[in-house]
Copies of this chain bind each other. A is one copy, B any other.
Amino acid sequence: LETGEADEIRAAVSTFNAADLAEFIEHASDDEDETGLRLFQSLPREKQAKIFGYIGPDMQLAFARLIPNRELAGIVTNMSADERADFFNILGDNQQHALFQSLASREREDLRRLASFEEGTAGALMTSDYAVISSGMTVASAMDLLRNTAPDKETIYQAYVVGEDHRLLGVISLRNLITSAPNAVVDTLMATGLVSAHTHTDKEEVARLISRYDLLALPITDDDNRLVGIVTYDDAMDVAEAEATEDMHKGATVGRLETGLKTASPFSLYRSRVQWLVILVFANIFTGASIDHFQQTISTHIALLFFMPLLIASGGNAGAQSATLMVRGLATGDVTAKDWGMLLGKDLLVATGLGLTMAAAVSVVGLYKAGPQIATVVAISMIVVVLLGSTIGMLLPFLLDKLKFDPATASMPLITTIADVSGVLIYFTIASVVLGLP
């Protein structure tokens, strides 16, 4: 950037949204090119702070190395409290210490507290920049307070009313405040019995509460019911999206990725995928061994081999459907562990219908290709295989949930593998019986 153009660019840039600017700056920054960094450094402090909250952790660290400490401290001071704590947590010890020294004592205290919560909890997600009103205040004074503190708050549309010791008593919306008589006391107007969460509540539960009750923000309290922070709806949206992505990845045995697919390094992708692939290689040996076991049956009726892939795949496919329905139902809260009996009954009914339909389809092929005897074997096997696959797919997520594992571990490849082994055993056992083999 030529120095002459700087002002023009600054003016143009000021109309852009922080999210767009962050994306542009990330694209314009690599080892060679410092355009992104220079553009970033030319922006006003508040815009910088906002953008810094948007860019990914890798780029944050790269910028933290390149930007002078004083400047960085200014940016960090202007960041929202929750984003500041997240950034702090990815820094090394030396950098944390340096940053800590450069902050005012109030921010330092706040940062120390926010950064101390365990990853994945409401405490780690929340911000301390919430609007608070003391019990007994009038509407007019509450409005004055909100007006004066607005610039530092994440939101002023929900103000939390606290009593002695900062205990959470209720919430009042700005909508309610501006439509109420100025001399009314907030306690008479506030909503009580409000939805809140604890600092140690799981962040996915936080997102679910915000989504279920259509909240702008969820207040977070400590063990003594003292208000310590809020989580806003935009953070809940990010959590819900990340959670859905993680569940989908798990459903295909892809492990945790720190970044998106586009920015992930080949090695991190390799690492997230290799574990289950190798486990499943060994698990599939059981399928091979089962086939081996029925060598004699197979060599006597080589036509049986033709229907094997179709049968074992059908069990896996039906199982994948049931497992996916169940995993997602548990994740969204649509179904809970206590529903398992009702859902099992329904699944058995549905799977019977599916099995009969698929048996009808396959027996046509069976008759044409291998005659009535093998068609019978294939049709019976299909019904059993689909019923079993579907039941395993339905029950495994529940079982995992019960054992405190993530139900999403019931991935499709895992279900498919289990269905393959049992499919081979079922098919050739039925064949042996019907065809009168030893």
Which residues of A does B touch, CB under 8 Å? Answer: 15-17, 19, 143, 146-147, 150-151, 156-157, 174-175, 178-179, 192-193, 195, 210-214, 216, 233-234, 236-238, 240-241, 244-245, 247-249, 251-254, 260-262, 266, 269-270, 273-274, 276-278, 280-282, 284-285, 287-289, 291-292, 295, 298-299, 302, 305-310, 312-314, 316-318, 320-321, 323-329, 332, 334-335, 339, 342-343, 346, 349-350, 353-354, 357-358, 361-362, 365, 386, 412-413, 416-417, 420, 424
> Per a CB cutoff under 8 Å, which of B285, B316, B320, B413 touches A310?
B285
Contacts of A314 in B (CB 8 A): 277, 280-281, 284
CB distance from A200 to the nearest CB of B (A): 23
Contacts of A15 in B (CB 8 A): 192-193
Q: Do residues A261 and B179 form an inter-chain contact, with CB atoms below 8 A?
A: no
Question: With A251-B324, A325-B254 as given contacts, are A262 and B334 in contact (CB-CB < 8 Å)?
Answer: yes
Contacts of A323 in B (CB 8 A): 252
Q: Do residues B334 and A266 form an inter-chain contact, with CB atoms below 8 A?
A: no
Most B C-beta atoms less than 10 A away, residue of A17, A249, A298, A309: A309
A-B contact pairs, 23 of them (CB 8 A): A15-B192, A17-B195, A147-B178, A150-B175, A211-B237, A233-B233, A248-B328, A249-B324, A260-B332, A261-B329, A261-B334, A262-B334, A269-B346, A285-B310, A287-B309, A287-B313, A288-B305, A288-B306, A291-B309, A295-B302, A299-B302, A313-B413, A412-B412
> Per a CB cutoff under 8 Å, which of B151, B307, B316, B354 touches A288?
B307
Contacts of A317 in B (CB 8 A): 253, 276-277, 280, 413, 416
Q: Do residues A260 and B329 form an inter-chain contact, with CB atoms below 8 A?
A: yes
Question: With A278-B358, A357-B274 as given contacts, are A241 and B291 in contact (CB-CB < 8 Å)?
Answer: no
Most B C-beta atoms less than 10 A away, residue of A193, A210, A273, A342: A273
A309→B335 CA distance, assembly (Å): 34
Q: Do residues A413 and B285 form an inter-chain contact, with CB atoms below 8 A?
A: no
Question: Which partner residue on chain B sits nearest A156 by CB separation?
Answer: B175
Question: Which partner residue on chain B sits nearest A326 by CB separation?
Answer: B261
Question: With A247-B248, A281-B361 as given contacts, are A320 and B287 in contact (CB-CB < 8 Å)?
Answer: no
Q: Do residues A324 and B254 form an inter-chain contact, with CB atoms below 8 A?
A: yes
Question: Which partner residue on chain B sits nearest A382 by CB separation?
Answer: B281
CB distance from A59 to the nearest CB of B (A): 15
CB distance from A228 to the nearest CB of B (A): 23
Q: Do residues A350 and B269 form an inter-chain contact, with CB atoms below 8 A?
A: yes
Contacts of A147 in B (CB 8 A): 178-179
Q: Do residues B175 and A241 form an inter-chain contact, with CB atoms below 8 A?
A: no
Question: Which partner residue on chain B sits nearest A339 by CB separation?
Answer: B262
Which 7 pairs show the lowest CB-CB distances between chains A and B? Answer: A252-B324, A287-B309, A244-B244, A284-B310, A260-B334, A214-B234, A288-B306
Question: With A313-B420, A354-B274 as given contacts, are A248 and B245 in contact (CB-CB < 8 Å)?
Answer: no
> Per a CB cutoff under 8 Å, which of B234, B269, B420 touches A309?
B420
A233→B277 CA distance, assembly (Å): 39
Q: Do residues A350 and B313 form an inter-chain contact, with CB atoms below 8 A?
A: no
Contacts of A284 in B (CB 8 A): 309-310, 313-314
> Per a CB cutoff under 8 Å, which of B214, B237, B248, B416 touches A324?
B248
Contacts of A413 in B (CB 8 A): 313, 316-317, 320, 412
Q: Do residues A318 and B277 form an inter-chain contact, with CB atoms below 8 A?
A: yes
Question: Which partner residue on chain B sits nearest A346 by CB separation?
Answer: B266
CB distance from A415 to the nearest CB of B (A): 9
CB distance from A17 to the nearest CB of B (A): 6
Question: With A146-B178, A291-B309 as given contacts, are A320 and B237 in contact (CB-CB < 8 Å)?
Answer: no
Q: Do residues A343 and B261 form an inter-chain contact, with CB atoms below 8 A?
A: yes
CB distance from A387 to the nearest CB of B (A): 13
Q: Do residues B324 and A309 form an inter-chain contact, with CB atoms below 8 A?
A: no
